[in-house]
């Protein structure tokens, strides 16, 4: 896709985000736009940054490591949003502003250990498998609640919220119930006021369902296709 369409696409998404927020009685600035940059090169990512996305989310360690020195994300925070293997944790901790995809206890422990070794605090979200899908990783809602209660024991990390990727929806509105469940869990954890937890970010909604996610209380949508066009998996 030509990078020249990226700014137009982002302007259109911003307008739809504002509309969805206002329809739900929310302020447009309550919802951040994260560009899901996988399989898009540094030039495309730079165009999205220039067009004013709030942050970038990268899925693969290899792409993150390649695009960082190219200055792809410069000027905006960069997040890790993909499945992270423990043997690659070193390449991500301290390099990104937020790891959104902490999907299992082993990974949390590994990130915490690496962050303490580096003498930093790594911001994280817990990924919740809200559709209880076999094919997806992530905590159950009860599991996420349990981890939040134990965050005081992970001084190398700070929990800033939750992330979810609900099932692929066939019809508009299909995922509203999952988004609503996520919002409830987010509020429940916030109200507990656990140590080392500051619930600021509820990351949910992608190209096909971000308006529904915003209606249900998302504070960050992660959008790839609607910004960059379809990804080419054959290259
Ligand atoms: C690819 C991806 C997205 C964006 O998906 P689109 O449907 O292209 O908007 C969002 N979140 C995660 C974790 C992704 O991997």
> Is the Cβ atom of 59 under 6 angstroms away from ligand 1?
yes
* Side-chain half-sphere exposure of 202, counting CA atoms within 13 A: 24
pTM: 0.97
Asked whether 73 and 93 are in contact (CB, 8 A), the reply is no
Closest atom of ligand 1 to CA, residue 223:
9
How many angstroms is it from 193 CA to the middle of ligand 1? Answer: 30
> Is the Cβ atom of 36 under 6 angstroms away from ligand 1?
yes
How many angstroms is it from 223 CA to the middle of ligand 1? Answer: 6
| d(C-alpha 112, C-alpha 157), whole Å | 6
**162 - beta bridge partners?**
126, 202
Each residue of 68-78: b (16+ CB within 10 Å) or e? beeebbeebeb
pLDDT at 2: 67
- Would you give the distance in Å from CA 111 to the centre of its chain? 17
pLDDT tens digits, 43-96: 999 999 999 999 999 999 999 999 999 999 999 999 999 999 999 999 999 999
- Would you give the distance in Å from CA 138 to the centre of its chain? 13
């Amino acid at each position: 896709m030509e990078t020249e369409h990226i700014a137009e696409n982002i302007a259109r998404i911003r307008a739809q985000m504002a509309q969805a927020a206002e329809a739900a009685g929310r302020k447009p600035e309550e919802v951040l736009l994260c560009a899901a940059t996988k399989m898009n090169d540094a030039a495309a990512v730079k165009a999205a940054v220039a067009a004013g996305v709030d942050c970038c989310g990268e899925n693969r360690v290899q792409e993150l490591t390649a695009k960082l020195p190219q200055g792809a994300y410069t000027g905006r925070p960069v997040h890790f949003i993909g499945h992270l293997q423990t043997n690659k944790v070193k390449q991500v901790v301290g390099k990104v502003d937020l790891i959104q995809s902490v999907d299992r206890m082993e990974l949390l422990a590994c990130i915490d250990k690496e962050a303490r070794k580096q003498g930093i605090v790594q911001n994280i979200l817990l990924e919740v498998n809200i559709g209880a899908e076999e094919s997806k990783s992530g905590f159950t809602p009860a599991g996420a609640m349990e981890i939040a209660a134990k965050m005081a024991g992970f001084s190398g990390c700070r929990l800033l919220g939750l992330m979810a990727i609900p099932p692929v929806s066939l019809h508009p509105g299909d995922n509203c119930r999952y988004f609503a469940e996520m919002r409830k869990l987010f509020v429940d954890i916030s109200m507990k006021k656990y140590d080392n937890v500051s619930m600021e970010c509820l990351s949910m909604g992608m190209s096909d369902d971000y308006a529904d996610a915003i209606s249900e209380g998302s504070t960050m949508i992660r959008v790839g296709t609607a910004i960059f066009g379809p990804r080419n998996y054959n290259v």
